[in-house]
Amino acid sequence: MSENKIKILPSNLSNKIAAGEVVQRPASVVKELLENSIDAKAKGIDLVVKRAGKVLIQVVDDGIGMSEEDALLCIQRHATSKIYDYKDLEAIKTFGFRGEALSSIAAVSLFELRTEREEDELGTSLYNDESSEIYIEKNSFAKGTSISVKNLFFNTPARRNFLKSNATELKHIIDTFKKTALAQPAIHFKLWNEDDLIFDFPAGSIEDRMKSVFADNILDAVIEVKEITDFLSITGFTAKPAFLKKSKGEQYLFINKRFVINRSINHAVFSAYEHLLEKGDYPFFVLFISLDPSRIDINIHPSKLEVKFEDEKDIYLFVQSVVKKSIGSFDLTPAMTFDPNKPEKEKLKFDNFRNVRKDDYSDRPSFLDREDRRNKSRKSIFDENEIDMIFSSINKEIKNSAPAGSITHPFEKQSEQEIYHVPTNKKAVPDNEVSDSTFIVSLHNKYILTQIKSGLMIIDQHVAHERILYEKALKSFEANLPFAQQLLFSQTIHMDPADFALVKELEPYLSKLGFALKYFSKNTLVIDGVPPDIKIGTETDTLMEILDEYKKNQREKKLETRDNMAASFSCKAAIKAGDKLSEQEMRLLIDQLFATSMPYVCPHGRPIVIKIPLDEFDKRFGRT
């Protein structure tokens, strides 16, 4: 009779195989032991390593400790105090929960555990030897738990040979230690390496922990992110544009205080910076997301670094909008600096040294600045009717065809009023109500120059209007209450089949922007109405230009439909370089620009506004 080929592995061998999933390197041991100490409600945790963890990893905490029975059970496979049934697995609130860590670690090391509870007179000591025999002793120990892991992978030499140099392995341990310490600022952490205390992070606030982990001046380099809701909250910090990195390794994302890696959330943060990021730039950030544990799955891999969300798209949009709002709450106008010794270095840069504070817009034109001082919540200094007239000198047909007197607006909500403007012929605000000592001039009908506190501000009028229309378009997509400027004479277009099909495909977006279209056979399109922003007489050309821009963006940049439509519309409907603006219109344009969420770059990535500090002029005129 032939011998069976399939056999059940002995437990000591299966434990070693399982350990390969959980214990990949010394840093894996550090992570698991630190998380167990956090679950044990420790207020202080000491980590001791020797030879980068290859000789010794010891974690000592002042947590609740264990009884003798629990100490014996904790090194058994799938033994855990964290979950009891499947419902617990669906809403995990602890860090260790699989019951694999300690058994896996003990299977590939000389393992020693000492623990004592507050109510016990004697604690428990448990250790193994090279033959995996378990020994138990009773003695008096410090309250809490101490676990020592010696000679890691001594019985799996192949895995030990795959470990990197001591410097590399120590770097991974320090990285794990810092991530854990960042997530738990209320716990006092210490790291000892070869008997030297190299990190001492006292308990405190997240700001204190940021200073301890990174640098004393880290808070000057970051922007606070904070949005608390009943269902989803995000707090933390993200970098000011001056401190963008060329490294991917400076992003710290924590879900319910657990460090995780999630490409979708990272992308949400990157996209919030829009075109402030150059190719190869990555924003440094430390973000904490809190949500119902039942809405996420962290039980994907034993390392628990990956996470899946129940509604990933909603979380993506939430993170993107909150980070974008946080960035927009700081004045981040780039400066033009000159180095006479290195003319090739004369370019835009963000000021590394100016301490920009939240909601401080004092370094902007003073006619905006004065209003900000009166009203901290930034609002336009012009009313809706005046905003409607921004480009009335360019679009005289609209101005002259408007009925006399003011028009009662049919919509009540402020957000809708920001989107839909009914043109009127109401007289603009008298100059003495808005003008002051700040000069404002047009340079070749392309750039607007105006004085600011630190020097001179220069604004590109075309891309400024593009940014305004871009955000207005995005809002109109959300509001779903289109307003079209009806044409006195409809415009008929005979299109090629591809463009005709594209217009039909994009009709929901075109309609929300304010286009009133009718479709006829033989690829014929009739325009009955257009958005108020489109210049009279250019309806047909502008629509075709929007379609061409849309196709170009789709081909070259692969933009999402909604964003592509907003960008295409804003690019082709905006005023052009060379269009002459009055002083009042320039002031209105600047006012509306700085009311947008991202007044620094247009949807295509071009800078909108720059400043030249006064000291740069002083250098050129020999005043320094």
Rounded distance between C-alpha atoms, residue 287 and residue 263, angstroms = 14
Does the structure show a pLDDT above 50 at 156?
Answer: yes
Return the higher-pLDDT residue of 242 and 493.
Answer: 493
Does the structure show a pLDDT above 60 at 295?
Answer: yes
Query: What was the pLDDT predicted at 349?
Result: 56
Edge-to-edge strands, sheet with 447-452: 348-349, 335-336, 609-613, 455-460, 447-452, 440-443
340-361: pLDDT as tens digits: 555 554 555 555 434 556 666 6
Structure-block tokens of residue 128? 């193994």
Pairing of strands 44-50, 188-193: parallel
Query: What was the pLDDT predicted at 120?
Result: 92
570-583: pLDDT as tens digits: 999 998 888 899 98
63-114: pLDDT as tens digits: 999 999 988 888 886 555 544 444 443 444 455 544 577 888 888 899 999 9
End-to-end CA, the chain: 100
What percent of the chain is predicted at pLDDT more than 90? 39
264, amino acid identity: S
Query: What was the pLDDT predicted at 532?
Result: 87
Structure-block tokens of residue 105? 């670690």
Averaged over 44-56, what is the pLDDT?
Answer: 96
Look-up: residue for tokens 């089949």? 497
Domains and CATH numbers, the chain: 11-204 (3.30.565.10), 214-328 (3.30.230.10), 343-613 (3.30.1540.20)
pTM score, two decimals? 0.69
Return the higher-pLDDT residue of 118 and 536.
Answer: 118
**Residue 505's pLDDT band (cuts 50, 70, 90):** very high
**Residues in contact with 281: Cβ distance below 8 Å, sequence separation at least 6, in sequence order:** 244, 245, 246
Does the structure show a pLDDT above 90 at 20?
Answer: no
Rounded distance between C-alpha atoms, residue 353 and residue 342, angstroms = 21
Neighbours of 508 (CB within 10 A): 13
User: Which has the closest alpha carbon to 91: 82, 79, 80?
Assistant: 82
Compute the Cα dihedral for 152, 155, 158, 159 and give only its sign: negative
Structure-block tokens of residue 84? 């009891």
**Residue 146's pLDDT band (cuts 50, 70, 90):** very high
536-593: pLDDT as tens digits: 888 999 999 999 999 998 888 777 899 899 999 999 999 888 889 998 889 899 989 9
360-377: pLDDT as tens digits: 666 677 666 544 444 444
- Crossing angle between the packed helical segments 366-374 and 583-593, to the nearest 10 degrees: 50
460-481: pLDDT as tens digits: 999 999 999 999 998 888 887 7
Query: What was the pLDDT predicted at 416?
Result: 38
By the 8 A CB rule, do 617 and 454 touch?
Answer: no
Torsion of CA 25, 28, 29, 32, to 10 degrees: -170
Does the structure show a pLDDT above 60 at 214?
Answer: yes
Does the structure show a pLDDT above 50 at 436?
Answer: no
> What is the DSSP secondary structure assignment for residue 245, as one 8-state letter?
B
422-434: pLDDT as tens digits: 333 333 444 444 4
Averaged over 247-260, what is the pLDDT?
Answer: 85
Rounded distance between C-alpha atoms, residue 588 and residue 595, angstroms = 11
Does the structure show a pLDDT above 60 at 379?
Answer: no
DSSP per residue over 53-114, as a string?
GTSEEEEEE-S----HHHHHHHTSTT--SS--SHHHHTS--SS--SS-HHHHHHHTSEEEEE
Does the structure show a pLDDT above 90 at 9?
Answer: no
By the 8 A CB rule, do 572 and 550 touch?
Answer: no
User: Which has the closest alpha carbon to 401: 491, 488, 490?
Assistant: 488
Q: Phi, psi (5° rounding) for residue 320?
A: -60, -50
Does the structure show a pLDDT above 60 at 266?
Answer: yes
Averaged over 251-267, what is the pLDDT?
Answer: 89
Instruction: Collapse the DSSP code of 285 into the 3-class scheme (helix H, G, I; strand E, B; otherwise coil) and give the result.
Output: strand
Lowest mean pLDDT among 7-21, 117-131, 383-397, 488-502: 383-397
